[in-house]
A and B are shown apart, each in its own frame.
Chain A
């Protein structure tokens, strides 16, 4: 096994130990549009004073209960620290979310692959540049959708 862990081919289709069940419908917890970090504006009403989730693009696909456990009650911005361009804009937007939109908390949810930690770094930089201070949480998701860590940073 070699190469970038972020793009290495892995197949989990034979995974057998599946917990949970498929009964019932799960409503979407998304309460805004747009969601991509280049498209969202910190001035948008859905950010004012809210708890904000900054999610790596892949996280919502990996995590089975993403809507129920992480998106519910929060506003969201999504980004990919590996492929997106002009990421300095993200740092400024996070600063503005903290200082201007006066968000309550920021939760960064990333995948376990090394390149994804770049998103946590962007969040830290934005938070450090802001004059207001808020609690920032980092959640790391394993490739098979398990939570590897969840801590305030």
Chain B
């Protein structure tokens, strides 16, 4: 079983699809992951299951891979149901979660933006490029850079799980380059394909961070590290000034007003 624990999750799921279904039952959504290079042991560890759940999950995975093996089933005491875990973030991580909220507000508007682009006679290049500016400056420079330069440095940033996050950021940047190219050429199909792909990618990415990655990193931080990270994030924010987040919040409010009006017309 140790060999399997050190295998990449995608390889395991490809060979034993039942393992993917079992993980899914435990809220571990590795099946649709585009990379799948995390090791099984890391995947299980990062989800912070209670010991009974983890023992049962490992038993079921082992049975799915080695059905002929005589593995004893862990005794589950149903009277000891664990309370659902409430996610509690440290202050610097909470700030990053709060920044996700503004990014998610743009993601929620993307279907309306796509419809508007498709139905306009000419591509509204100015609008598309303003959305790109939000993504590049607020989501990427202001937010993702704090993750890459500060948060991820507190764990092994060579770990597969962190590499998946870096890869998501890179894929996202690629989609946005395509959106810009589409806007320059007036190519509606190119804009639609890549902005929707960006939306899907970031939606999953933020969910993974809010629910799995950030709590996992938080559990490893000492009180001293929390204080240090809080200071570094504040310094990073101060270096761009208070006006930047305010400007992009105003932009999202205006965009919401515009598309709300479009919907109610």
Q: What is the interface of chain A, defined by CB distance below 8 A to chain B?
A: 51, 73-74, 104-105, 107, 133-135, 137, 151-152
Nearest CB on A from B98, distance (A): 14
**Any A CB within 8 A of the CB of B133:** no
Q: What is the interface of chain B, defined by CB distance below 8 A to chain A?
A: 88-92, 94, 223-224, 226-228, 230-231, 234
Q: In the complex, are the beta carbons of B224 and A105 less than 8 A apart?
A: yes
* Extra pairs beyond A135-B91, A152-B89, A152-B91 (4, CB < 8 Å): A104-B224, A105-B226, A105-B230, A152-B94
Nearest CB on B from A116, distance (A): 20
Nearest CB on A from B245, distance (A): 16
Q: Lowest 6 A-B CB distances belong to which pairs?
A: A104-B227, A105-B227, A135-B91, A135-B230, A135-B226, A105-B223
A51 in contact with B91 given A133-B234, A134-B230 (CB within 8 Å): no
CA distance A51 to B224 in the complex (A): 6
- Closest chain B residue, CB of each to CB of A74: B223
CA distance A133 to B231 in the complex (A): 9
- Closest chain B residue, CB of each to CB of A153: B91
CA distance A107 to B224 in the complex (A): 11
- Closest chain B residue, CB of each to CB of A49: B227
CA distance A104 to B231 in the complex (A): 8
CA distance A135 to B88 in the complex (A): 13
CA distance A134 to B228 in the complex (A): 9
CA distance A152 to B79 in the complex (A): 31
- Closest chain A residue, CB of each to CB of B218: A152
Q: Which residues of A contact B230 (CB under 8 A)?
A: 105, 133-135
Main secondary structure on chain B at its contact with chain A? Answer: helix
Q: Which residues of A contact B91 (CB under 8 A)?
A: 135, 152
Nearest CB on A from B109, distance (A): 32
Q: Which residues of B contact A134 (CB under 8 A)?
A: 227, 230
Q: In the complex, are the beta carbons of A135 and B224 less than 8 A apart?
A: no
CA distance A133 to B226 in the complex (A): 13
Nearest CB on A from B225, distance (A): 9
A151 in contact with B224 given A104-B231, A135-B230 (CB within 8 Å): no
Q: Which residues of B contact A152 (CB under 8 A)?
A: 88-91, 94, 226
Q: Which residues of B contact A135 (CB under 8 A)?
A: 90-92, 223, 226-227, 230
- Closest chain B residue, CB of each to CB of A50: B224
Nearest CB on B from A72, distance (A): 10
Most B-side CB within 10 Å, residue of A51, A151, A152:
A152
- Closest chain A residue, CB of each to CB of B88: A151
Nearest CB on A from B228, distance (A): 7
Q: Which residues of B contact A51 (CB under 8 A)?
A: 223-224, 227
Q: Which residues of A contact B223 (CB under 8 A)?
A: 51, 74, 105, 107, 135, 137
Q: Which residues of B contact A104 (CB under 8 A)?
A: 224, 227-228, 231
Q: Which residues of B contact A74 (CB under 8 A)?
A: 223
CA distance A151 to B91 in the complex (A): 10
CA distance A133 to B100 in the complex (A): 21
Q: Which residues of A contact B94 (CB under 8 A)?
A: 152
- Closest chain A residue, CB of each to CB of B92: A135
- Closest chain A residue, CB of each to CB of B91: A135
CA distance A6 to B43 in the complex (A): 45
Q: Which residues of A contact B89 (CB under 8 A)?
A: 152
Q: Which residues of A contact B228 (CB under 8 A)?
A: 104
CA distance A105 to B88 in the complex (A): 17
Nearest CB on A from B90, distance (A): 5
CA distance A51 to B223 in the complex (A): 8
Most A-side CB within 10 Å, residue of B88, B90, B91:
B91
Q: In the complex, are the beta carbons of B224 and A73 less than 8 A apart?
A: yes
Nearest CB on B from A20, distance (A): 20
A sample of 11 cross-chain residue pairs with beta-carbon separation below 8 angstroms, ordered by A number, consists of A74-B223, A104-B227, A104-B228, A104-B231, A133-B230, A134-B230, A135-B90, A135-B92, A135-B223, A151-B88, A152-B94
CA distance A104 to B88 in the complex (A): 20
